[in-house]
C-alpha cells in the first residue's frame, strides 16, 4: 500500500469519528465543529515544538573538528613519506 493511502485512511477514520460526534452530539455542536481546526493547530504546534526541542538539543561535536585536523596532519606526513603528492599548504 502506498504511504499516501495509509495517511488518507487515517484521515478518513478521523473524519468518521468527527461526523459521528456531530451526529450524536456528545459534545456541544459549536465545539465539535471546531475539532478539525484544533487538530490542525495542534499538529502545527507539535511540529514547531519538535523543531524547537531538536534545535535546543542539536548534537554538536567541536572536539571532532580538532581530532580531524590532527588526523589530516598525520595522514599528510605519512603520504609525503611515501611519495604521494599531497601539496605543501
Partner 1 sequence: MEAKADENKYSIIIPTYNERLNIALIVYLIFKHLPNVNFEIIVVDDGSPDGTQDIVKQLQEVYGEDRILLRPRAKKLGLGTAYVHGLKHATGNFVVIMDADLSHHPKYLPSFIKKQMETGSSIVTGTRYVKGGGVHGWNLMRKLTSRGANVLAQTFLWPGVSDLTGSFRLYKKSVLEDIISSCVSKGYVFQMEMIVRASRKGYHIEEVPITFVDRVYGSSKLGGSEIVEYLKGLLYLLVTT
Instruction: Please state, as a whole number, how many other Cβ atoms lie within 10 Å of the Cβ of residue 21.
Output: 16
* Nearest one of 54, 87, 53, 57 to 73, comparing CA atoms: 87
Full 3-state SS string of 8-53: HHHHHHHHHHHHHHHHHCCCCHHHHHHHHHHHHHHHHHHHHHHHHH
Using CB under 8 A as the criterion, what x/- string covers residues 27-46 for binding partner 1? Answer: ----------------x--x
Q: Is 47 in the site for partner 1 (CB under 8 A)?
A: yes
Shortest Å distance, C-beta 26 to partner 1: 29
User: Is 24 among the residues that bind partner 1 (CB under 8 A)?
Assistant: no
Using CB under 8 A, list all residues that contact partner 1. Answer: 2-4, 7, 43, 46-47, 50-51, 54-55, 58-62, 64-65, 68, 71-72, 75-76, 78-79, 82-87
Amino acid at each position: 500500500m502506498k504511504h499516501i493511502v495509509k495517511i488518507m485512511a487515517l484521515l478518513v477514520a478521523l473524519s468518521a469519528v468527527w461526523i459521528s460526534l456531530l451526529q450524536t452530539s456528545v459534545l456541544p455542536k459549536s465545539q465539535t465543529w471546531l475539532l478539525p481546526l484544533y487538530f490542525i493547530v495542534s499538529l502545527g504546534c507539535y511540529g514547531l515544538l519538535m523543531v524547537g526541542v531538536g534545535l535546543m538539543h542539536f548534537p554538536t561535536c567541536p572536539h571532532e573538528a580538532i581530532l580531524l585536523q590532527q588526523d589530516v596532519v598525520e595522514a599528510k606526513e605519512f603520504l609525503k613519506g611515501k611519495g604521494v603528492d599531497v601539496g605543501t599548504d
